[in-house]
């Protein structure tokens, strides 16, 4: 399979990991989910990310998920390999690339504090990964690590295998602008795909992002917004985005968001069950009622927009 490179764009959906009601891996749902994402306009898939409950899988289960997903699609697959140490990261990355993945994604561990520690960590990562292309995941809300623009540019300069930024700093619009100004001024231009559940997607595209890498349960919205932006139809992009925004917002609740996402995906038939592995938060009856109201309103609004 082709390796990930700086030209990646569009929507890389962050895939959930489907489980059976007893918590075991649901392999059939993996296939169904991959087909669903492809059908809804994904240009790539990212698996075993934070929202893929990667930390809750054993090494063997991670291997099973990687192989199943890669076997099901010709789209590029990025594999989250964040782990406490380099040895674990390197061995999971090797397994992923052998299975046919396009690249891997690495978030900084929460213990990093200074700019120098962050840059040094990614030097070590690049060394441990060898030729494998990697995505730098910049997600301070979850990792507790703030990665300044200067550190990203240093990593991009020092590590040719860093080909993409998964951007979910928040607020982060001016960070995209700063990175694009830097590449306009001669820095290597890497792909920037944005996360945060798509909460700022229209604005991110205007700042120079290449698309989204996030798992909002309606990937077609993201694909359509990206397409409308590329076509110069800004109002169309915003109209679509605004229709889904109440649900984007609801899904963006930390901790709870994954259960929301899985619930919607199950309701849409993309996976069989909305099971979240422990430790995790099932949805309360009141939250389910919220979602029923919000999805009903979405249908009506989409009908209005035609």
Whether omega before 84 lies within 30 degrees of 0, making that bond cis, reads no
| Lookup: tokens for 303 | 């009908």
| Lookup: tokens for 52 | 């893929």
Q: In this structure, are residues 53 and 62 in contact, taking their beta carbons and an 8 Å threshold?
A: no
Residue 14: phi and psi, rounded to 5, are: -80, 115
Q: Does the footprint of a copy of itself cover residue 206 (CB under 8 A)?
A: yes
Report the nearest approach of a copy of itself to the CB of residue 192 (Å): 15
Name the maximum alpha-carbon separation found in the chain. Answer: 54
Q: Which is nearer to a copy of itself, 2 or 58 (CB)?
A: 58
| Contacts (Cβ under 8 Å, ≥6 apart) of 120 | none
| Site stretch for a copy of itself (CB under 8 A), options 8-16, 218-226, 266-274, 289-297 | 289-297
Q: In this structure, are residues 9 and 109 in contact, taking their beta carbons and an 8 Å threshold?
A: no
Q: Does the footprint of a copy of itself cover residue 156 (CB under 8 A)?
A: no
- Beta-bridge partners for 25: 19
Q: At what angle do helices 234-251 and 285-305 cross, to 10 degrees?
A: 170
Q: Find the binding residues for a copy of itself in span 162-201 (CB under 8 A).
A: 170-171, 173-174, 177, 199-200
Q: Find the binding residues for a copy of itself in span 25-44 (CB under 8 A).
A: none
Q: Does the footprint of a copy of itself cover residue 116 (CB under 8 A)?
A: yes
Q: Does the footprint of a copy of itself cover residue 130 (CB under 8 A)?
A: no
Report the nearest approach of a copy of itself to the CB of residue 238 (Å): 6
The site map against a copy of itself for 82-101 (x = CB under 8 A) is -xxxxxx-xx----------
Report the nearest approach of a copy of itself to the CB of residue 133 (Å): 21
- In the block, which residue shows the tokens 């698309």? 211
Task: Report the relative pairing of strands 162-167 and 211-214 from DSSP bridges.
Answer: unpaired
Q: How many residues bind a copy of itself (CB under 8 A)?
A: 63
The binding site for a copy of itself (CB under 8 A) comprises 53-61, 83-88, 90-91, 110, 113-116, 120-121, 124, 140, 146, 148, 150-151, 170-171, 173-174, 177, 199-200, 203, 206-207, 234-235, 238, 241-242, 245-246, 249-250, 253-257, 277-279, 284, 286-287, 290, 293, 297
């Amino acid at each position: 399979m082709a390796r990930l490179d700086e030209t990646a764009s569009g929507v890389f959906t962050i895939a959930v990991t489907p489980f059976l009601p007893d918590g075991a891996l649901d392999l059939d749902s993996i296939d169904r989910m991959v087909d669903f994402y492809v059908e809804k306009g994904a240009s790539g898939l990212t698996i075993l990310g934070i929202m893929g409950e990667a930390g809750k899988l054993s090494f063997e289960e991670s291997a099973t998920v990687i192989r199943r997903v890669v076997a099901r699609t010709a789209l590029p697959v990025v594999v989250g390999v964040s782990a406490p140490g380099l040895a674990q990261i390197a061995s999971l990355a090797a397994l992923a690339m052998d299975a046919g993945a396009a690249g891997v994604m690495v978030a900084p561990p929460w213990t990093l504090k200074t700019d120098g520690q962050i840059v040094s960590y990614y030097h070590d990562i690049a060394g441990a990964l060898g030729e494998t292309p990697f995505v730098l995941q910049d997600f301070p809300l979850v990792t507790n690590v703030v990665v300044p623009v200067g550190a990203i540019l240093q990593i991009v300069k020092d590590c040719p295998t860093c080909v993409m930024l998964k951007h979910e700093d928040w607020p982060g619009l001016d960070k995209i602008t700063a990175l694009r100004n830097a590449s306009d001024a001669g820095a290597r231009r890497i792909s920037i795909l944005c996360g945060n559940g798509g909460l700022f997607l229209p604005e991110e595209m205007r700042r120079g992002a290449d698309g989204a890498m996030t798992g909002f349960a309606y990937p077609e919205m993201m694909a359509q917004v990206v397409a409308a932006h590329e076509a110069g139809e800004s109002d169309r992009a915003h109209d679509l985005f605004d229709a889904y925004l109440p649900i984007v917002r609801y899904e963006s609740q930390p901790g709870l968001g994954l259960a929301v996402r899985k619930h919607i995906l199950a309701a849409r038939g993309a996976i069989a069950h909305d099971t979240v592995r422990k430790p995790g938060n099932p949805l309360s009856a009141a939250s389910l009622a919220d979602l029923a109201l919000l999805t009903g309103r979405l249908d009506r609004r989409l009908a209005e927009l035609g």
